Amino acid sequence: MPRLNNRRGRLYGRVAGIPRAVGGPRAHPPKAEANRKERINKKEKKAALNSAIASSIRFDLVSARHIIEKDISLPIIIEDKFEEIAKTQDLNKVLENLKIKADLDNAKDKVRRRAGKGKMRGRLKKQKKSILIVTAKNAEVFKAARNLPGVEICVARNLNTELFAPGAVPGRLTLWSESALKAFEEKKGKVKK
For the stretch 13-56, pLDDT in tens is 888 889 988 888 999 998 989 998 889 999 999 999 999 999 99
Q: Cα separation of 83 and 142, whole Å?
A: 8
Rounded distance, CA 137 to CA 83, Å?
9
- What integer pLDDT is reported at residue 154 of this predicted model? 95
* Phi and psi based region of residue 14 (left: phi greater than 0; alpha: psi -120 to 50; beta: remaining): beta
Question: Which fold, 66-111+125-188?
Answer: Ribosomal Protein L4; Chain: A; (3.40.1370)
pLDDT tens-place string over residues 112-152: 999 999 999 999 999 999 999 999 999 999 999 999 999 99
Residues 124 and 114: beta-carbon distance below 8 Å: yes
Greatest alpha-carbon pair distance for the chain in Å reads: 76
What residue spans in the chain does CATH classification 3.40.1370.10 cover?
Answer: 66-111+125-188
In tens, the pLDDT along 58-97 reads: 999 999 999 999 888 998 999 999 999 999 999 999 999 9
Are 175 and 133 within 8 A, CB to CB? yes
Q: pLDDT (tens digit, 9 = 90+) per residue, 140-188?
A: 999 999 999 999 999 999 999 999 999 999 999 999 999 999 998 887 6
pLDDT at 11: 81
Interatomic CA distance for residues 97 and 121, integer angstroms: 39
Output the CA torsion sign for 7, 9, 13, 18: negative
pTM for the model: 0.78
User: 88-97 and 101-109 are packed helices; what angle lies between their axes, rounded to 10 degrees?
Assistant: 120
